[in-house]
Every structure is written in structure tokens, then in C-alpha cells.
Structure 1
Amino acid sequence: MTEEEKKYKGIIWALSIIIPLAVAALFGINLPKMGYEVKPLGFLPPIYATINGLTAVTLVVAVSAIKRGNIKLHENLIKLCMVFSSLFLVMYVAYHMTSESTKFGGEGTIRYIYYFILVTHIVLSVVIIPFVLFTFVRGIAGAYERHKKLARITYPMWLYVAVTGVIVYLMISPYYAH
């Protein structure tokens, strides 16, 4: 383990615990129900779904870049993915703090499919946090073999979370209150 990795290890584990707990806590806060006058941010779901889509595309291009030996492009694209993921998180929390939760209205088999995708998306979105952060730090620390080894696990999970985020949005969007 490099010195840089050691330096960030505690921060990564702290973020991996704090982020899901903060999202869960903030998800339970609805400002209008608490008496605060805030404008619902109902316009955000298509934006953060688009950001999920951009994350997925950018991840695929980043992997393609590294396979072609373009390290700098790969690094820049992964940094962009980190920005996209952060923007998604902020918008997602802001939306849920200012708007009523939308219930999925589908019935039958599609309902089970929706909830399967939703649950696996949520679980992996929590699990992926330390994987993404450790993979990122290994890359910037120059621990390329260990970075590559962990990236083989991180990439498909991160891609799954990004793609299923778009799918969940597309499946629930007909039920948003307009």
C-alpha cells in the first residue's frame, strides 16, 4: 500500500459509511411537510437520470481509453464520472427533500421487475462507494496493478448502478405527479 493510499484509507471508509447514512437520514426529511416554504424540485429526476446515463457512457469510454493506452484521457474521464456521481447525489437528495415520493404504479410481472432493479440498484449504490474511492486512489497513487485488479470489480458494479438508475427513472417516470 502506497503512502497516498494509507493517507486516504480512513477518509474513504468514513465517506463509505457517512454518505449512505446521510442520504438515508435526508431522504426521511421532507421540508414542505415540516412547514418550510420550498419550491418542489420536480424537474430534477430527468436531469439526474441523464447524469446517470452520462456516467455510464463516460465509464465505457474511459475503459476504452485505457485499453488503447491513453492514460490521461482515462484519468480525466474517471474524474468526470466522479463529478457526475457527486452531482447525481446532490440532486437526488434535494429532490427527495422537497418533493413527495413517487409510487410505482405498474402491476403484475413488471412490478416485480421494477422492484428487483430498484433494490439491486440501491444496494449496489451503497456497496460501490468504497470500491470507487479505493480504485480511484490506487490509480492516482500510481499503484496501477492493484488499481487494475480492483477496477475489474468496480467497473461492472458502477456501470450497473449508472444504467439501472436510468432504467428505474424510465420505469417510474409515468407515475410522477405533473
Structure 2
Amino acid sequence: MSETVSNASKKYTIWIWILSIAIPVVVAVLFSVRIPGVERMGFLPPIYATINGLTAILLVAAVFQIKKGNRKRHEQLMKTCIVLSVLFLGMYVTYHMTSDSTPYGGEGAIRYVYFFILITHIILSILVIPFVLITYVRAISGNFEMHKKIAKITFPLWLYIAVTGVIVYVMISPYY
């Protein structure tokens, strides 16, 4: 690894740590905040579920593009996935700042399936933050060998989160 690549990655390390800690903390704090005078934004869950689905599709498309050697298209798709994830997070937080959480009404074994998917989705959505940021920094720093190594971990985590986000929405939507 060249010294330039190493220095570029190091300068981002502090930001990766700050964002990886701050994002989940801020989201958790905002869950306890209610925006006064704003009505429930019940139209948001299907929108952010759609964003999750689109993110999953674009993640897969990005992998196909890089395997075909189309680095520029891969980069565009990955940047779009990051933007979509930020939009999702903004809408998700906004919804929860205007609405109480919806209790899941399913019974029996499906209830356990739902909570397993939900809990793994939430935990991995927190854990994936530094992976996405490190993967992105390695790419923009030109450290493609290390980018490729961590992307092999980041991709399935991020894809799982995007797909399970849709599944969670579909499973809870009858109870909104």
C-alpha cells in the first residue's frame, strides 16, 4: 500500500468512528423526541420500505457491474445506495418522531420469525455503518485491494439489512 493511500485512509478514520457512534446514538435519542404539532406521517413506511428494496436491487447491480469491469457504473450505483440509505434513515427517524411504534400483532411461530428478523435487522444496521464507511473510504482512496476485501463482508450485511427492511415492513404493515 502506498504512503498516499495510507495517509488518505487515516485522515478519514476519525470520521468513520465519529459517524459510526453518533448515528446510532442520535437515532436512539430522536426516538424519544416528538415533534409538536406535526401529524403522524403514516405515508412514510411504504416509501422507506421501497427505498430499502431499491437499495437491495442496486447493491446487486453494483456487484454485477464491478464483476463486468465497469468501475464507473459500480461507483455510481454504490453512491446511489449510500444516498438512498441516508434518505431511508431520515424518513425512518421522521416517522418515529411523529408516530408511536406499531406493535406486531402476529401470533404463534410467525411472531418469533418477525422478531428474529427485526432484531437482526436492527443490530446489523448499526454494525454495518463502519463497514460501509471503511469500504467507501478505501475505494475513494484508491486502495482497491483492501476495498475488495472488506466489500466481501459489507455487501452481504448491507444486502441483508435492505432485504429484511422490506420483509419487516411487509410483516408489520397490516398492523399500522
RMSD: 0.7
* Partner of residue 23 from structure 2, selected from 8, 19, 25: 19
Q: Flag as ranges the 4+ runs of structure 1 deviating above 4 A.
A: none
Describe the SS at the equivalent of 2:114: helix
Describe the SS at the equivalent of 2:125: helix
Describe the SS at the equivalent of 2:163: helix
Unaligned runs of 5+ in 1: none
- Paired residue for 2:121? 121
Cα distance per residue 1:83-118 (max 9 Å; x no partner): 000000000000000012100000000000000000
Matches within 5 A, 1:157-168: 157-168=157-168
Deviation at residue 40 of structure 1 after TM alignment = 1.4
Cα distance per residue 1:21-71 (max 9 Å; x no partner): 00011012223xxxx211211100000000000100000000000000000
- Paired residue for 2:75? 75
Cα distance between partner residues in 1 of 2:8 and 2:89: 26
Cα distance between partner residues in 2 of 1:21 and 1:100: 19
Matches within 5 A, 1:138-177: 138-176=138-176
- Paired residue for 2:52? 52
Residue type matched to 1:29 in 2? V
Cα distance between partner residues in 2 of 1:66 and 1:154: 15
Does the alignment pair 1:6 with 2:7? no
Deviation at residue 7 of structure 1 after TM alignment = 1.1
Comparing 2-11 with 159-168, which one deviates more in the overlay? Answer: 2-11
TM-score in terms of structure 1 length:
0.95
Cα distance between partner residues in 1 of 2:170 and 2:38: 26
TM-score in terms of structure 2 length:
0.96
Deviation at residue 136 of structure 1 after TM alignment = 0.5
Does the alignment pair 1:90 with 2:94? no
Describe the SS at the equivalent of 1:101: coil
- Paired residue for 1:110? 110
Describe the SS at the equivalent of 2:33: coil
Describe the SS at the equivalent of 1:106: coil
Unaligned runs of 5+ in 2: none
- Equivalent residue pairs, number: 172
